[in-house]
Amino acid sequence: MDNIKLKTSLNRFFEKVRLESFDEYDVKMLLIDIREFIREQTFLREVADSIAHPERNQGICHKAIDSRYARMKMARLGARELAEKKEFDNNADKPESYFSDKILDYINPRKINKTDFDLFVRNSLEDIDESLFIKYYKLKRKEIQNLINNSYQKKNGVYELKASITGRKFQLLEDILKFLRGTITPKGVVTSDALRNDLKNALNRINKLSGFNLSIKEIEKSMECIIVCILALLHDCKFLMYDGTESKAFLSIHGEVVDETTVPITFGDYNLVLMINADNFKFPIITTDINQSAFIDNLVEPDTLHLQPIPWIQTRRDKTNLKLIELSA
């Protein structure tokens, strides 16, 4: 798109922002317009590319989503294998760590092929919150990354353990690799804050490279509505997993746990969240700080829809207020 067309299209969107009249279709066109300015290797860029070229493959491929699905799949297979061998019945006196070690024993730390290294090491490292590394290992993510990189040498597509990694060095490495394979958190792969930053950075790049004077402050005022439009665009979106499994995203709500001791668990405020169903594994893709009550009218019993598909998946304007409504027939 040349500068004149891009500027005209962006000015049209910004005018709708000022009038509070945009909806998910307008956000879709915005993402198509600015996708080349969105930093690569980000979730928002993959979303924009998929919208611009929906025929390019069967779905969005995202490393962190793929890695989380792979870890959950392998844990299920491992647990199933132990059950079939009656390991749980025959070793009832063993501690939980005995079984978790067996379940996570699908990687040989001395020699790891590239596919497994990407899925279960590199991408898992990026998916897990840094605070957990600090809590359990007193190491930052970068330090963990350096420790792993310095422990292996790549030969013919295989990561081989260096001969110098022995004793306590090997024990620490092995424990970290098991931690990477066995840790799945309820946090989304992406947060609404990350999407906000990606979008603002893209618009700032447009201003810098094209000489435009787009008002980022105007966008910031409507950022919550823009994020909701992105969630609506991604509902029912297909994701292609590493093993060929085709998964789908769905819009939902996520309650903040107030009391874990009650049955059922008591939740407080409910925020919008984008979930994925990958071969019956359900986990959050995008977690937000956007309260559902601002966009969904008359949701009487939100606890019944916690992390479940909701029917309000389409955006419409009620005068100037953006709302999520049930899909039109």
304 vs 149, residue with greater confidence: 149
What is d(CA 111, CA 178) in angstroms, rounded to the nearest whole number? Answer: 14
pLDDT number for residue 329: 44
Average pLDDT for the chain: 88
Residue 13 has pLDDT above 50, yes or no: yes
Give the tens place of pLDDT for each residue, 88-115.
999 999 998 899 999 999 999 999 999 9
Residue 161 pLDDT class (50, 70, 90 cuts):
very high
Radius of gyration of the chain (CA): 23
Least confident of 67-71, 93-97, 139-143, 184-188: 184-188
Would you state the structure tokens that stand for residue 12, as one six-digit string? 């049209």
Q: How does DSSP assign 152-216, residue by residue?
A: EEEETTEEEE-TT--HHHHHHHHHHHHHHHH---SS-SEEHHHHHHHHHHHHHHHHHHH-----H
Q: Beta strand pairing status for 281-291 and 312-318?
A: unpaired
**Confidence (pLDDT) at 208:** 86
Closest to 229 in 3D by CA, of 20, 26, 11: 26
pLDDT of residue 171: 96
Share of the chain above pLDDT 90, in %: 60
Asked whether 306 and 254 are in contact (CB, 8 A), the reply is yes
The token pair that represents 147 in the structure block: 């420790």
Answer whether residue 261 shows pLDDT above 60.
no
User: Would you say residue 125 has pLDDT above 90?
Assistant: yes
Specify burial of residue 231 (Cβ count, 10 A radius: 0-12, 13-18, 19+): buried
State the pLDDT at residue 253.
93
Predicted confidence at residue 54, as pLDDT, reads 66
Quick one: average pLDDT of 166-192? 93
Domain ranges of the chain: 3-62+189-326, 63-182
Contact of 198 with 38, CB cutoff 8 Å: yes
Work out the burial of residue 168: count CB atoms within 10 Å of its CB; fewer than 13 is exposed, 13-18 middle, 19 or more buried.
Answer: exposed
What is the percent of the chain where pLDDT is above 70? 92
pLDDT tens, 49-83? Answer: 888 776 555 456 688 899 999 999 999 999 999 99
Judge whether 269 and 256 are in contact, CB under 8 Å.
Answer: yes
Judge whether residue 176 has pLDDT over 60: yes
Are 274 and 313 in contact by the 8 Å Cβ rule? The answer is no
Question: Three-class SS of residue 91?
Answer: coil
CA separation, residue 273 to residues 67, 88, 197, 235, 288 (Å): 20, 36, 18, 10, 6
Task: Give the confidence band of 260 by pLDDT, cuts at 50, 70, 90.
Answer: very low
pLDDT at res. 265: 47
Say whether pLDDT at 257 is over 70: no
Q: Is the pLDDT of residue 324 over 50?
A: yes
